[in-house]
Amino acid sequence: MESAIPKHLQQPRLHPAATPAHYQPPYPAWAARFDPLIGQVVMAYFGVQGEQPVPLSALAEVTTRLRGDNAPGHWDAACCTDAAGYHNTVAIAYWADIQAFERWREGSGFNRWWQDSARETGPLGWFIEVVCPTADRFETVFSSAQVTEGIGHLASHLSAPIVEHGYWGSARDRLAIAQREELAGSHVPMPAPSGRRVRVSGRDNLCLIRSGQDWSATTGHERHLYLGEVQPTLAKGMTFLRDEGGAIGCLNCRFMQVLDPQTGTPLEKTFGLAYFQELAQLESWAKTHPTHVAIFGGFMQYVQTLNFDIQLRLYHEVAVIPAAAQYFEYLNCHPATGLIGRA
C-alpha cells in the first residue's frame, strides 16, 4: 500500500493524520495519479433550469462547444430536481489547465453566448459554477482500479491501494494541503443578491464533494440489495442535505442522475454534489449525523453480506477551494438556485 498523497506533495505535517496506528483498510481503494498537474485544474458545472424536465439537448449551446481547440479532457452530463421543485440539467467538464479553459471560453464563443442578454429572459435559467483548485487542494478515491470517474479521467494512472480510507477523517488525510493548513472556512454571512444575472462571491476554503455510485455491473442478489436497501438510504441522506442541510453547514446539495452524454438517456449511475462552508462540516455530517451514519452502516452491512466481493463501483472527489479560485453566476434562475443567498 501507499499514501494517497503523491510523493512530490508530501511534507512534514503540522497537523497529524487521523490514520489509526498499524491501520489496515477493510477493503482496497485507489487514488488518481497525475503526470503531475501543474497549476490549477478546472471543475466546471454548466447548468440549465426549468419548471418542467429539461432535456440534455437544451444544453447544446454548451455541449457542442466542449470539443475542438482547448476542449476539456472529459465531460459528463447529469440531471436532478432541486429543493424548489425545478429541474436542472448539467454538463460537468474538467480541464487540467486553467489557461486552456480561459482560451476555450473565448475561442469557442461561449463567453459571447453567455454574456448575451437573451440568457436573462425566457422560460429557462442558466448557471455556471467553476472551482479551480491546485493539485494539493483536491483528493480522489475509487473502489475499483478499472474504472475512473470525474477528474480521474484526467489521470495518467491510479495509485497502488492506499492506506488513507475507511476511517473518519480519511478525506482530510488524503488532502496534501491539510498537512500544513487547518482549512477553516468563511462563516461571514453572504448578502442575498437580486436581479436576472447574479454573481456570487467566493468564500475561503469552500468544500466541494462529488460522491458517486455505479451499479451497472451488479447482478442478482447484489443488485437486489443495492436497489432495495442501500440506494433508498442514500437518497434519504441526499434529500436531507438538499432540503435541510443549511443547518449543518451544507450550502447546496444536488443528488444527480448521470445521463449518456450523447443521447441524454439515464445511466445506472448517480452522484451527490454538495458544497459545504468548510471541510470540518462535511466531516461532522459524515461522522455523526443519523442520515450519513445510516448510509455508512448500510454500506458496511452490504459489503459484509457479500463477503466484500462486490461489483458496485464507488468514488468521490473532494476539493477545498480558496475564494479567488471560485466563479458562480446564475442567469434567470429562481432565487434559491445553487449558492444564491446562502448564509
Active-site residue set: 316
Distance from C-alpha of 183 to C-alpha of 164, rounded to nearest angstrom? 18
> Which residue, among 333, 337, 336, has the nearest Cα to 120 in the 3D structure?
333
Residue 279 CA neighbour count, 13 Å, CB half: 24
Residue with the three cell numbers 475499483: 144
Q: What are the angstrom distances between the C-alpha of 3 and each of 31, 74, 81, 163, 294?
A: 9, 26, 38, 6, 28
Q: What is the dihedral of CA 252, 205, 75, 265, to 10 degrees?
A: -20
- Rounded Cα distance between 173 and 163, Å, is 10
Q: Are 239 and 206 in contact (CB under 8 A)?
A: no
Q: Answer for the pair 60, 312: CB distance below 8 angstroms, yes or no.
A: no
Strands across the sheet containing 74-81 = 138-142, 313-321, 206-214, 266-276, 250-259, 74-81, 87-95, 42-50, 125-131, 326-331, 197-200
